[in-house]
């Protein structure tokens, strides 16, 4: 009887191999989750750019209404961030960087006959690319609407 009781008490705990197996399985599940969420996170960053560009474009248009001309390429977005916060075209400094913490590009005149263009090169920071690495331009966003 004593031997049976001893064996049953000894089997209640987990062995080191069982614990390692559980840790490995949890690690695999966590790795799969991180890879899955990183793709969603990159896509979300790409979508965040659109309302940021819309806000910048709104400030550029307000600047035009006040001054009768768009900021030059040399002035860039600094013409908006340097304005008084009470100004209708004021743009806060935190909106001049894209979600990848690079400054938005501003050109006046813009491409395809547009008076100005605001753009970002996406996650990779280089021209071209697909998915989260794709370039985003205010000119092409207008065409989508």
Find the CATH number of the domain harbouring 81: 3.30.700.10
Residue at 126 is within a domain: yes
Domain that holds residue 102: 20-144
Residue at 5 is within a domain: no
| Domain total in the chain | 1
Least confident of 107-111, 129-133, 135-139: 129-133
pLDDT in tens, 24-55: 888 888 877 776 666 566 666 767 788 888 88
Would you say residue 61 has pLDDT above 60? yes
Residue at 52 is within a domain: yes
- What confidence category does residue 109 fall into, taking pLDDT thresholds of 50, 70 and 90? confident
Residue at 57 is within a domain: yes
Structure-derived torsion over alpha carbons of residues 65, 68, 74, 80, reported in degrees to the nearest 10: -20
Residue at 11 is within a domain: no
Residue scoring higher pLDDT (125 or 75): 75
Structure tokens at 95: 């909106």
Would you say residue 10 has pLDDT above 60? no
77 contacts 100 by C-beta, under 8 angstroms:
no
Strand partners, 8: none
Residue at 138 is within a domain: yes
């Amino acid at each position: 009887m004593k031997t049976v009781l001893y064996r049953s008490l000894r089997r209640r705990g987990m062995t080191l191999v069982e614990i390692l197996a559980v840790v490995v399985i949890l690690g695999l599940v966590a790795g799969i989750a991180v890879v899955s969420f990183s793709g969603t996170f990159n896509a979300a960053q790409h979508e965040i750019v659109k309302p940021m560009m819309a806000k910048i474009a709104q400030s550029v248009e307000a600047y035009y209404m006040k001054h009768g001309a768009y900021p030059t390429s040399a002035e860039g977005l600094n013409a908006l961030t340097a304005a008084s916060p009470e100004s209708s075209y004021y743009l806060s400094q935190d909106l001049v960087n894209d979600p990848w913490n690079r400054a938005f590009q501003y050109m006046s005149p813009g491409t395809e006959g547009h008076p100005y263009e605001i753009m970002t090169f996406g996650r990779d920071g280089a021209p071209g690319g697909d998915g989260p690495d794709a370039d985003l331009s205010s000119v092409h966003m207008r065409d989508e609407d």
